[in-house]
Each structure stands twice: as C-alpha cells, then as structure tokens.
Amino acid sequence: MVQRVKAWAGRTGMVMRDRHGTVLMDATLKTQQTRDPPTVEALAILEAMKLVLLKVWRNIVVESDAGVVLNEIRADQPSLTLYGNMIEEIKSLAKSFLSCHFSWINRVGNKVAHELAKVACSLETTCVWLDWITMFLSPVIIANSAGI
C-alpha cells in the first residue's frame, strides 16, 4: 500500500495505491483552521493513515513531497513544531501497522494527489472515493503511471 499526500493552502489530496500502483482509494480534505502547509501536510498524512487503517491494510508506505514533515516523523525525539501533536499521533498510529515506512517523493511523482488538492478547493467537505476513480483523475493517473 502506497499512499501519496499533497497539501495545498488548507486543502489536501490523498491517494492510496497497491504495490503495483493501482489506485484503491482517493480522498480530499478541506481544513478551516489552518493554511500553514506543513501543518496541513501533517494533518493529511494523519487522516490518510486513519483511512487506511479502517480498510485493514497493514503494510503501508506513506509518500509525501514535504521533506520537513517527513523528517519530523522520522525523528526519535518528540516534535516541538506547531504541528508536533499531529506528528506524535502519526508516530503512534504507525505502530498499528505491520510495516509503515515514510518516503519522500518529488512533486512530479505526486501529481495525482496534487490534482486532488486542487479539486478540494471547489468542495465544501471531505470526500472519499473507495474502489472508484473519479473521471477527472483518469488522465492524470495514466500519465503518472507511465512516468510522464
């Protein structure tokens, strides 16, 4: 299970894929309380992990293009950032999985999550699509899978 997260001005896109790259679930999250990119990214990772846990997927790789947030998650010491409580919850939740790895991905590799974050701007609430890929994402997913 690979999940990709992209935060964008208080809106996030999350994409959950299997090990072959097939999209299994995608979601958008719109936050009212914060627009700080690292905080929104940490929240997106946390919410994506909660969604994945509900689907009973136990081996995951969390991919994000927010290196600062990933460094906080990987750190042994408690996070003292403004979003540190979310980082600590992510670390705790990671223990619920058989394996949970956090990996940096460049922005180009995070295209689908980026497009979902844009879509979240026009949505009033959080949306989750299970086992169904929205039509507007199909061309982006195909191009991303082909490495375009």
Strands 2-8 and 59-64: parallel
Q: State which amino acid sits at residue 119.
A: V
Distance CA 25, CA 4 (A): 11
Q: Are 83 and 39 in contact (CB under 8 A)?
A: yes
Output the pLDDT for position 146: 47
Domains of the chain: 2-143 (3.30.420.10)
Which H, E and C letters describe 40-76, residue by residue? Answer: HHHHHHHHHHHHHHHCCCCEEEEEECCHHHHHHHHCC
b (16+ CB within 10 A) / e for 44-67? bbbbbbebbeeeebeebbbbbbbe
Taking the mean position of all CA atoms in its chain, how far away is CA 125?
17
Interatomic CA distance for residues 14 and 2, integer angstroms: 10
Contacts with 22 (C-beta within 8 Å, 6 or more apart), sequence order: none
pLDDT of 148 reads: 47
pTM: 0.72
From first to last of the 148 residues of the chain, give the pLDDT tens digit. Answer: 455 554 545 667 777 777 777 777 777 776 766 778 888 889 888 988 998 888 888 888 888 888 999 999 999 999 999 999 999 999 999 999 999 999 898 766 666 665 666 665 555 555 555 555 555 555 444 445 545 4
